[in-house]
Structure 1
Amino acid sequence: MALQIVVLGASGYLGRHLIDRLRACPDWNIVGVSRHKPADWPADVAFQVADATEPQALEALLAQADAVINGISGSPAIIAASARALASALLRASRPAGSAPIRLIHMSSMSVYGNVQGDINEAQPLIPPGETDYASAKSLAETLLSAHANSILLRPGCIYGYQSPQWTLRPLQLLRAGRLGDLGENGDGYSNLVHVDDVLDAICAALRAPANVGSQAYNLAMPDAPRWNIYFERLALAAGAVPVRRISRRQYALETRVLAPLLFIASKLGRKVGLRHLPPPISPSLAALWRQDIRLDSGKATLAWQMQWRSLDAGIADCVPQAPATA
């Protein structure tokens, strides 16, 4: 009998990649869920327009589900509200007598560890939950959803790969504009990169994991992830954005302390008048991440699911596909 899988946040970057992966498996029936149906949604995959912050809407979606994958992203308020709604829906979901609870796979983030440094495994305490920022909202979502008896919490590092908006397209845009390059000590933090295909592999393995595992968390990051300076250099070389600039402290301070707030205000105003494609800011929080000496230990996922992490060479090649040679 086919497994019934509900994917929340199906219209986002990870959600669309996930739908493509899951639809290739004949023994899984997929329902994508989001506030708006994308115009290019595949005809052979069911889609349901729903507000994931409404518990009643989620209860109806979970009525026949065997598994739900929570890929909701957005503001801290949306992350928190959707987690509360999902926790409530899971609590009320009815299951046939003797069957396992619905399998929940929740997409969390390495941000739940806060600004700690060193080698970090899943036993590291999370930052206090809340709704004030992205990291505290992610921590709150984990706190709420880990109470479900059949939950797997995935904590990826920085998801990169072809068309990744945050960790491929944005760095490429900044590199080509000469606003990013060798940051010196400001780019010496570990990147904790994880290729999008590795994240999909982990999700599929989590779907197939035994139902009696209880609530489990797994870090997802390539072993020996490079420092940010190395990643930026390799990405720039692959894209032909050379020579790679050395970004001075003065320029970097102007980017993060002066230009970033201005671009943030401009983007908010631009959305109101339909102005898009403004230059991306280098926010203070992003700058702090590029300095942070944190290394995710993904050994638990490697051992549990025999993960074969993609190398940086393979990942970079996927980020910047080479044009075919012409005669």
Structure 2
Amino acid sequence: MTRRVLVLGAGGFVGRHVMAGLPTAGFDVIAGVRGAAPPGIEARRLEATDQTSLRAALDGVTDIVNCVAAAPGAMTQATQALCEVARERRIVHLSSMAVYGAATGLVNEEASLPGGGPYADGKVASEGILRQHAANGGQAVILRPGCIHGPGSEQWTARPARLLRQGRLGDLGVAGDGFCNLTAVADLVAAIAAALERSEISGAAFNIADPEPGRWNDYFLHLALAIGATPLRRLPDWQMKLDKLAAFPLKAAEIMGGKLRIRFPDPIPPSLWRVFAQEIRLDHRRADAELGFLRQAPKATLAEAAEWFLRAA
């Protein structure tokens, strides 16, 4: 029997990769979208927070991959609605390492989930809904990726690349010595495919990240080399302080620019500076033992991401 997978959030960065990658693993895919679908793919228009809409979209579907990216309230509403209508279908849900909050050290899936901030708290709440769904007999698997990068990644490929070109990122000294828990988007798709295949892991959560993370300073150097943004210089403290002060005005300009279709310089929010310095390592061993998916070589991911950025820039 062919497995038919409905991908919620199919129009987003991760969703597009899932739509492209799952067919190579033997799955039929259906795009769950709010608006018009890209030509040439099967799609069903739906509103992820509406049970009636979701129920209609699930006709003939055997599994669901939840890639919905939305405001925290809408994210939890969509998760609740999905659990109400999924019945015996398997849900593979994309959470985030953000659920671990400010944790440090080697962090496994049994760690507490303090969250911290609207996005992280929304992810924590969504996980709670899914765990209850699994406890009630439903089929649900939770994946917690790190910083998802690769071709098409605005947050962890394109934005750092632009900031490196502008000289606003570089060697950050101790401010960039946190562990860089990257997740190649190709690895995440492979983990999703593995989670869809294994019925015995319902209710489990898995960290999906590079087994050998370097430091953020290392990532900035390698990305700069790949896009030709060298030499990489050590940023003085005064420049980093200035960028921190400029974060809120630049965010306001970014919002205005989006409406006017004008690109302003990227803000570097306080949350991002905290990530660059955070001494957290995601423990990957459960995913290796129970999912067993094949990872793409980190150098290959970086090269593909850099090539995509250079084409799009």
TM-score (norm 1): 0.88
For residues 262-288 of structure 1, the C-alpha deviation after alignment (integer angstroms, 9 at most, x for no partner) is: 01111222334x233222110000110
Given that 1:270 and 1:276 are in contact with CA atoms closer than 8 Å, whether structure 2 keeps it comes out as yes
Q: SS of 1:162's equivalent? A: coil
Q: What is the CA distance between 1:3 and its match in structure 2?
A: 1.2
Moved more, 79-88 or 246-255: 79-88
Amino acid at match of 2:233: R
What's 1:113 paired with? Answer: 100
Partners of 1:86 and 1:279 in 2: CA distance: 38
Cα pair 2:257 2:263 within 8 Å, conserved:
no
Between structures 1 and 2, the one with greater helix share: 2
Q: Which residue of 1 aligns with 2:311?
A: none
1:161 is displaced (CA, Å) by: 1.2
Structure 2 residue aligned with 1:151: 140
1:84 matched to which residue of 2? 80
Residue 225 of structure 2 is matched in structure 1 by: 237
Q: Alignment identity in percent?
A: 37
Per-residue deviation, 1:181: 0.5
Structure 1 counterpart of 2:267: 281
Tell me the secondary structure at the aligned position of residue 306 of structure 1.
Answer: coil
Alpha-carbon distance change, 22 to 307 in structure 1, aligned in 2, over 3 angstroms: closer
Computed over aligned residues only, the root mean square deviation of the Cα atoms, in angstroms, reads 1.9
Match of 1:207 in 2: 196
**What is the CA distance between 1:212 and its match in structure 2?**
3.7
Using the alignment, how far apart are the partners of 1:128 and 1:13 within structure 2? 23
| Cα separation, 2, equivalents of 1:21 and 1:310 | 13
Distance 1:247 1:310 in 2: 32
Match of residue 290 from structure 2:
304
Once residues 110 and 170 of structure 1 are traced to their aligned partners in structure 2, the CA distance between those partners, rounded to angstroms, is: 19
Kindly indicate whether the alpha-carbon contact (under 8 Å) linking 2:131 and 2:140 is maintained by their aligned counterparts in 1. yes
Summarize the Cα distance change of 1:219–1:237 in structure 2 as closer, same or farther, 3 Å threshold.
Answer: same
Q: How far did residue 317 of structure 1 move?
A: 1.6
Match of residue 58 from structure 2: 62
Query: CA separation in 2, counterparts of 1:285 and 1:109?
Result: 15
Please name the residue that 2:124 is paired with. Answer: 139
For 1:198, the equivalent position in structure 2 comes to 187
Alpha-carbon distance, 1:42 to partner: 4.5
Distance change in 2, residues 1:42/1:197 (3 Å): farther
- SS at 2:43's partner residue? strand
Residue in structure 2 matched with residue 217 of structure 1 by the alignment: 205
Q: CA deviation at 1:106?
A: 0.1
Q: How many residues align?
A: 305
Distance 1:307 1:31, change over 3 A: closer
Give the TM-score normalised by structure 2: 0.92
In the aligned structure 1, how far is the partner of 2:291 from the partner of 2:195? 8
Q: How many angstroms does 1:244 deviate by?
A: 0.5
Instruction: Output the CA distance in 1 between the equivalents of 2:22 and 2:57.
Output: 18
Determine the C-alpha separation between the residues in 2 that align with 1:248 and 1:35.
45
Q: What is the alpha-carbon distance in structure 2 between the residues aligned to residue 135 and residue 124 of structure 1?
A: 15
**Is 1:319 matched with 2:305?**
yes
CA contact (8 A) 1:121 1:219 kept: yes
Could you tell me which amino acid in structure 1 is paired with residue 147 of structure 2? C
Show the counterpart of 1:325.
Answer: none
- Displacement of 1:196 in angstroms is 0.8
Contiguous gaps of at least 5 residues in structure 2:
309-313
Q: 2:113 aligns with which of 112, 126, 150?
A: 126
- Which one of the candidate residues 134, 137, 160 is aligned to 1:171? 160
Which deviations, in whole Å up to 9, do the C-alpha atoms of 1:238-260 show, x marking residues without a partner?
A: 1110111211111111112x211
Offset of 1:51 from its aligned partner?
A: 1.2
Q: Mark the runs of 5 or more structure 1 residues left unpaired by the alignment.
A: 94-100, 323-327
Give, in whole Å, the separation in 2 of the partners of 1:276 and 1:136. 32
Q: What is aligned with 2:29?
A: 30
Moved over 4 A (4+): none
2:132 is paired with a residue of what secondary structure?
coil
Give the Cα separation in 1 of the matches to 2:61 and 2:10.
16
Per-residue deviation, residues 220-243 of structure 1 (Å, max 9, x unmatched):
011111100000011101111011
> Could you give the per-residue CA deviations for residues 63-87 of structure 1, whole angstroms, max 9, x where no partner exists?
4321000000122222122122212
Q: Say whether the 8 Å CA contact 2:145–2:208 is kept in structure 1.
A: yes
Q: Secondary structure of 1:219's partner?
A: strand
Report the Cα distance in structure 1 between the residues aligned to 2:68 and 2:45, rounded to whole angstroms: 14
8 Å CA contact 1:10, 1:34 repeated in 2: yes
Q: Is the 1:55–1:85 Cα contact (8 Å) retained in structure 2?
A: yes
Using the alignment, how far apart are the partners of 1:250 and 1:205 within structure 2? 47
Give the equivalent residue in structure 2 for 1:295: 281
Quote the offset at 1:214 in angstroms.
Answer: 2.8
